[in-house]
A = this chain, B = another copy of it.
Amino acid sequence: MKKIQIKKEVSKNFKKHNHKLCYETSMKAFHKNCLEKNLKLTPLRLKVFELLLKDHRPIGAYQILDMLSKEGFSSTPPIAYRVLDFLIEQGFAHKIERFNAFIACSHPGSKHSPTFMICRKCDKVAEMCEKDSRLKLDKKSLSEFQIEESIIEIIGICKSCNQLETIKC
């Protein structure tokens, strides 16, 4: 039987969507990853990942520390940064350089260089999958530079915010 391919919309993060599904899919992948690689899925790691998954907005390390402290976890800076490093290494989180903030990965499970669309009104972020975002460089440059990693962050206004603005007028 042919598997039906459901085209996931890149910009869904900006709209109402089945977020419970987002959450559960990512959390399941995280469990699976840790199990397979024999990495420890500790309460701290789970909690931080859970916080990142809450909505599609980046969170600063110190915000995370606040939330951890409210939940009874230790909350000195290295606590947050270490777990964030772990999540990033494992491909389950990214840093948004523009905001010094962190976000759950939308296509978790392997290291990759993401492209982010960042709405400056609602602060939500959508991570595009590689096939929807391609950086075309000219031949000469490509031949002279060996790319290892790319940071692509697009800042603008998402459709939802744009529509709200239109309605307001």
Contact = CB atoms under 8 A, between A and B. Distances in A.
Interface of A: 9-11, 14, 97-98, 115, 117, 119-120, 126, 128, 131-138, 140-141, 143-159, 162
Nearest to A162: B146
Contacts of A133: 135-138, 141
Contact of A137 (B9, B132, B140, B150): B132
Given A11-B140, A134-B135, A136-B136, A156 B152 contact: no
A9 B156 CA distance: 31
B132 A145 contact: no
A70 to B, nearest CB: 29
A97 B151 contact: yes
A134 B136 contact: yes
B144 A151 contact: no
Contacts of A141: 10-11, 117, 126, 128, 132-133
A150 B148 contact: no
A145 to B, nearest CB: 5
Given A11-B140, A133-B137, A149-B156, 19 more contacts: A10-B138, A10-B141, A10-B144, A11-B141, A11-B145, A14-B144, A97-B98, A126-B145, A128-B138, A131-B138, A132-B138, A132-B141, A134-B135, A135-B152, A144-B159, A145-B156, A146-B158, A147-B155, A150-B155
